[in-house]
Amino acid sequence: MTGAEKMTETERPQIYLISPPEVDLDTFPGVLANVLDTAEVACVRLALSSTDESQILRVGDSLREITHARDIALVIETHVLMVERLGLDGVHLTDGARSVRYVRKELGADAIVGTFCGTSRHDGMNAGEAGADYISFGPVGQTTLGDGKLADPEIFDWWSEVIEVPIIAEGGLDEETIARLGNVTDFFAFGPEIWGADNPATQLQTLIQAMG
């Protein structure tokens, strides 16, 4: 099964997890494994703040073993060259449509190439035309990060009716926002929404129930 085939569309939104920016290898692998064993997850994004190559390699190796043992795709944020080196399923870009065409050529047709397009419908359309497997819009809920601008729910309404490229809702997700977007997004991306909880697996189940 190719990386792209691991992320397929279904009637109900699928779950996409974003790793914490800092990962403790003594504890996080067990936490992640527990979450993946209690919920159906389509993809995990390794999104470390570190630029230490050895640290990224250690975490990538650990998470790859956990995700691939469960037939779950693992992508890495930004670091295109790490995809092949770590044996990952693809990459998540953060620059909208800018790099999609180049990265698609570099990684090939079977790799997952997704990209974050913030609040820009136009950027999302360009990324889809350039070959992105999915487009991520956000933040969709209130957050103190970024400039405070939110992705308009209307983007998801319009996209679901007109565009076939799958979309992800991420950033500031709460139960109310999840309920609002449940019928118009293909994926919900959860990161801080669950990792900050005492029991991430239980918190994820609570958020899943909000989908209706």
Q: Is the dihedral of CA 161, 162, 167, 170 positive or negative?
A: negative
Instruction: Return the structure tokens found at 48.
Output: 């470390």
**Residue 24 contacts residue 187 (beta carbons within 8 Å):** no
pLDDT at position 75:
98
* 148 within domain boundaries: yes
Taking the chain (212 residues) in runs of 10, the rounded mean pLDDT of each run is: 52 95 98 98 98 97 98 98 98 98 98 97 98 98 78 96 97 96 97 97 97 86
CA-closest candidate to residue 31, choices 189, 190, 194: 194
Residue 5 domain-assigned (yes or no): no
CATH number at residue 46: 3.20.20.70
pLDDT tens per residue, range 141-170: 987 666 779 999 999 999 999 999 999 999
Residue 157 maps to a domain: yes
User: Which two tokens mark 145?
Assistant: 């990060």
Q: Tell me, yes or no, whether 149 lies in a domain.
A: yes
For residue 6, being part of any structural domain is answered with no
Residue 30 burial (10 A CB sphere; 0-12, 13-18, 19+):
exposed
Asked if the structure places residue 8 within a domain, the reply is no
Residue 26 main-chain phi, psi, to 5 deg:
-80, -25
pTM of this prediction?
0.94
Q: Examine residue 7 and state whether it is found in any structural domain, yes or no.
A: no
| Side chain identity, residue 208 | I
Interior angle at CA 114, CA 55 and CA 141, nearest 5: 90
Q: How many domains does the chain have?
A: 1
Token representation of residue 36: 């993946």
Residue bearing tokens 């308009």: 152
Answer yes or no: is 4 within a domain. no
Domain housing 29 = 13-171+182-209
State CA 133 to chain mean position distance: 12
